[in-house]
Structure 1
Amino acid sequence: MSAAEWKKKCEDEWNLQGLPAPQSLDWKSVHEAKPFGRNLLKNSSPYGLSKDMAPPEPDLPEFPMRGPPIFQPEGDFTGWTTNIEVLPEDTSGIPAGVVICALPQFSWFTLEQTLDLKAEGLWDELLDEFQPEIVIQDWYEESQLHQSIYQLHVKLLGADKSTVISEHSVNPTEDLSIYSLTWKEVSHVFSGYGPGVRYIHFLHRVKNQFLNGFYATRFTGSSVIVKPLKSSS
């Protein structure tokens, strides 16, 4: 196919007519990269779970676990940079003189990725002038472990990877009086974010608990999708 034919194929497939693009743009490479409509995150469901099925019930151990506490959940976290923050035990609210046999020990499990938008097939003029919508979505488990079990921080970054052009954060508080064993959706659409965006930093944290066994807050279906729609200011 000729360059003009690859351009027309991209325009027809994603309705890109009139989008700003340099004459030198390699439309064949754009088509192969498929930057629109696909999830740019790698390994979006490392626990092997789907939002279309209810999260599995916690596996309650028959006997207390022996050995040191566990803070690392099981899963394939390829593609994610991970970190574990063990939180100090909370003894507030416990009356003086009470004998403490065991306290739950909580930890934050952080997972993050940085996406290179140009490496994913987008180009400068599109990002700076057209500013397509960037749709963020995530699903986390209603684990009931704590009032705060999930956090999300997404940043649109400049070419230096440090300049924050736009950002969105979520830190919900859970209602522990309601238990439905379901997935909770978190979503956001970046629009009118201004020129200069070249990278997306996606970070979320889920809280885990150890008390005679390990109990995780899991997530699934994390996604970052660029849509060929002009964002509004």
Structure 2
Amino acid sequence: MTTVTIPTLDSDASFTGYIARPEGGAKAAVIVIQEIFGVNPGIRQKCDKLAAEGYLALAPDLFWRLKTGISLDPDIAAEFTEALDWMGKFNQDAGIRDIQAAINYLRAHEGAAKVGCVGYCLGGRLAFMTAARTDIDASVGYYGVGIDGLLGEAKAIANPVMLHIPTADGFVPPETQAAMHAGLDDHPKVTLHDYAGLDHGFATEVGKRRDEAAATLADARTSAFFAEHLA
């Protein structure tokens, strides 16, 4: 497993990230933002698939301030419960600063002209926050939680955003989805895609939550989005 070390914005500490490099030169870089389960095999597989598409893919360990190297299986009840505990302790504002540090690292140390991000679950929420609070070039969020509470930040979004929303998401109730559409459908930089009847986690690479057809469709939309906006 290949990892890199990323200095924090204050350069007073550092954290690691899993990195997948394409054969030949990368056409751009993409930050893969973890779920509450850490940089686990599914997130690393997301990086590997992006590398196969020609992107330099980096999954930073955003839980490092709590514990380094967290890697949990959502299909194991005890590990799911542990992940919820880590999420409750996680400082999301600090996480966004670490994502900005990862953006800076990719530009300064890896020569990436453009940097995008894609996040899942907690990472989907963080992808939206990244779009509003950093200089990321393009952002994608899958089943982001609690985005209705962040809609006041939408005016700060300057670069393209795509959000994938399963309509039967147990963590994102219909009223939250309605608020997202009401607040974002008219935003010139934001595109929302609904997936009827699907639940949270449908695009996971491994495990019981995956829906093959919907994951394939959503990932194709993401690929086209990055091809357009990270070119």
Q: Per residue, is there more helix in 1 or in 2?
A: 2
Larger-Rg structure: 1
Q: Same fold (TM over 0.5)?
A: no
Length-normalised TM-score, structure 1:
0.25
Q: Per residue, is there more strand in 1 or in 2?
A: 1
| Greater relative CO (CA pairs within 8 A, separation 6+) | 1
